[in-house]
Amino acid sequence: MTELDLTTASERLEGATPEERLAFAVDRWGDRLLFTSSFGAGSGVMLHLWSQVARHLPVVFIDTGFLFDETITYRDRLVQQLRLRVEIVRPEVPRDEFLWEHGADVMGRDPDFCCARNKVAPLRPYLRRSLAWVSGVRRDQGSTRAKVLILQPTADGPIEVHPIASMTAAEVEEYLRAHAIPEHPLRAKRFLSIGCWPCTHPVPEGAGERAGRWAGTAKTECGLHTHLKRV
């Protein structure tokens, strides 16, 4: 798609439903469409949509080695319930070897490095062969995501596709209830955005959804959705 066509399509999809947005992407890019999921809090919406529109395509799950046991349990539950195909991707260097080489406190000393090695790097082979990349990014999740487009062009990678960009946290909860999709078990303990356990904490009342990620630091993103240069 040309940049003009992409802008026009993105503007048109603003008035479409999440299902219609995802169906557009599946129809346009087929098996060159990548979908990654963290199986974290709120992930059930995109996973359910995927099971309805693109069940024949895989869900890519990055197992960093630092995930909560509850996340793995939740993944297995939704895979069975929604009959999803999942491809599990792992870092080249296993967790124990990584910690031995870089120190057990590497997450606190250099979280950007840790994320780059254990989250971003494992996905690169998938990004190289993909024309578009679906994720569950929403505009109300924080300032770094507030202006994402439905179809977001990048200068050095696949087009980012955000079918639920315009959904609110309240709409996510309603969707999960309406479709009987269980929420991540840590959600009840106010883990509102869930990644690796060393860098994920409960969110205080009144704080933003992603306030529990890298708490006490200036870091707000793992880099998975920000390392590509948007245009």
Kindly report, residue by residue over 156-208, the tens digit of the pLDDT: 789 999 999 999 989 999 999 999 999 999 998 988 888 898 888 888 887 77
Residue 13 falls within a domain, yes or no? yes
- Domain range for 168 is 3-199
Q: Can you tell me the distance from the alpha carbon of 176 to that of 167, in angstroms, rounded to the nearest whole number? A: 12
Q: Can you tell me the distance from the alpha carbon of 145 to that of 193, in angstroms, rounded to the nearest whole number? A: 14
Identify the sign of the CA torsion 22, 47, 81, 127: positive
For 51-80, what is each residue's pLDDT tens digit? 999 999 999 999 999 999 999 999 999 999
Residue 209 falls within a domain, yes or no? no
Residue 193 falls within a domain, yes or no? yes
Model pTM score = 0.88
Check residue 192 and give its pLDDT: 83
User: Side-chain half-sphere of 215: how many Cα atoms within 13 Å?
Assistant: 19
Residue 17 pLDDT level (bands cut at 50, 70, 90): very high
Q: Say how many domains are in the chain.
A: 1
Residue 65 falls within a domain, yes or no? yes
Residue 93 falls within a domain, yes or no? yes
Residue 155 pLDDT level (bands cut at 50, 70, 90): confident
Residue 206 falls within a domain, yes or no? no
Check residue 203 and give its pLDDT: 86
Check residue 199 and give its pLDDT: 85
Q: Going by DSSP bridges, is the β-strand pair 159-161/151-152 parallel, antiparallel, or unpaired?
A: antiparallel
Q: Which two tokens stand for residue 9?
A: 């399509």
For 27-54, what is each residue's pLDDT tens digit? 999 999 999 999 998 899 999 999 999 9
The active-site residue out of 115, 196, 199, 222 is 222
Q: Can you tell me the distance from the alpha carbon of 6 to that of 14, in angstroms, rounded to the nearest whole number? A: 12
Residue 214 sits at φ, ψ, to 5 deg, of 55, 45
Instruction: From residue 211, give the alpha-carbon distance in Å to each of 111, 142, 152, 214.
Output: 16, 9, 25, 8
Q: What is the CATH classification number for the domain harbouring 129?
A: 3.40.50.620
Residue 222 is among the residues annotated as catalytic for this protein: yes
Task: State the residue for tokens 């406190």.
Answer: 105
Residue 229 falls within a domain, yes or no? no
Residue 220 pLDDT level (bands cut at 50, 70, 90): low
Residue 57 falls within a domain, yes or no? yes
Please check the confidence at residue 209 and state whether its pLDDT lies above 80.
Answer: no
Please check the confidence at residue 226 and state whether its pLDDT lies above 60.
Answer: no
Give the mean model confidence (pLDDT) for residues 201-224: 71
